[in-house]
Chains A and B, each alone.
Chain A
Amino acid sequence: DQQVKQNSPSLSVQEGRISILNCDYTNSMFDYFLWYKKYPAEGPTFLISISSIKDKNEDGRFTVFLNKSAKHLSLHIVPSQPGDSAVYFCAGGGAGSGGSNYKLTFGKGTLLTVNP
Chain B
Amino acid sequence: GAGVSQSPSNKVTEKGKDVELRCDPISGHTALYWYRQSLGQGLEFLIYFQGNSAPDKSGLPSDRFSAERTGGSVSTLTIQRTQQEDSAVYLCASSLGRAQPQHFGDGTRLSIL
Contact = CB atoms under 8 A, between A and B. Distances in A.
Interface stretch (B14-22, B60-68, B77-85, B99-107): B99-107
Size class of B's contact patch?
Answer: 20 to 34
A46 B95 CA distance: 11
Contacts, number: 62
Interface residues of A, number: 25
Interface of B: 4, 6, 31, 33, 35, 40-45, 48, 50, 56, 58-59, 91, 93, 95, 98-99, 101-107
B43 A104 contact: yes
Contacts of B107: 43
Interface string A29-49: 000101010000111111001
B25 to A, nearest CB: 12
Contacts of A89: 42-43
B58, B99, B105: which has the most chain A beta carbons within 10 Å? B99
Given A44-B43, A89-B42, A108-B40, A102 B48 contact: yes
Contacts of B98: 95, 101-102
A105 B59 CA distance: 11
B33 to A, nearest CB: 7
A71 interface: no
A3 to B, nearest CB: 10
Contacts of B99: 32, 93, 95, 101-102
Contacts of A103: 33, 45, 48, 56, 58-59
Nearest to A93: B99
Interface string A1-25: 0001000000000000000000000
A102 B104 contact: no
Nearest to B95: A102
B4 A43 contact: yes
A34 B45 CA distance: 15
B45 A43 contact: no
A34 B101 contact: yes
A66 B101 CA distance: 17
A106 B93 CA distance: 14
A91, A102, A107: which has the most chain B beta carbons within 10 Å? A102
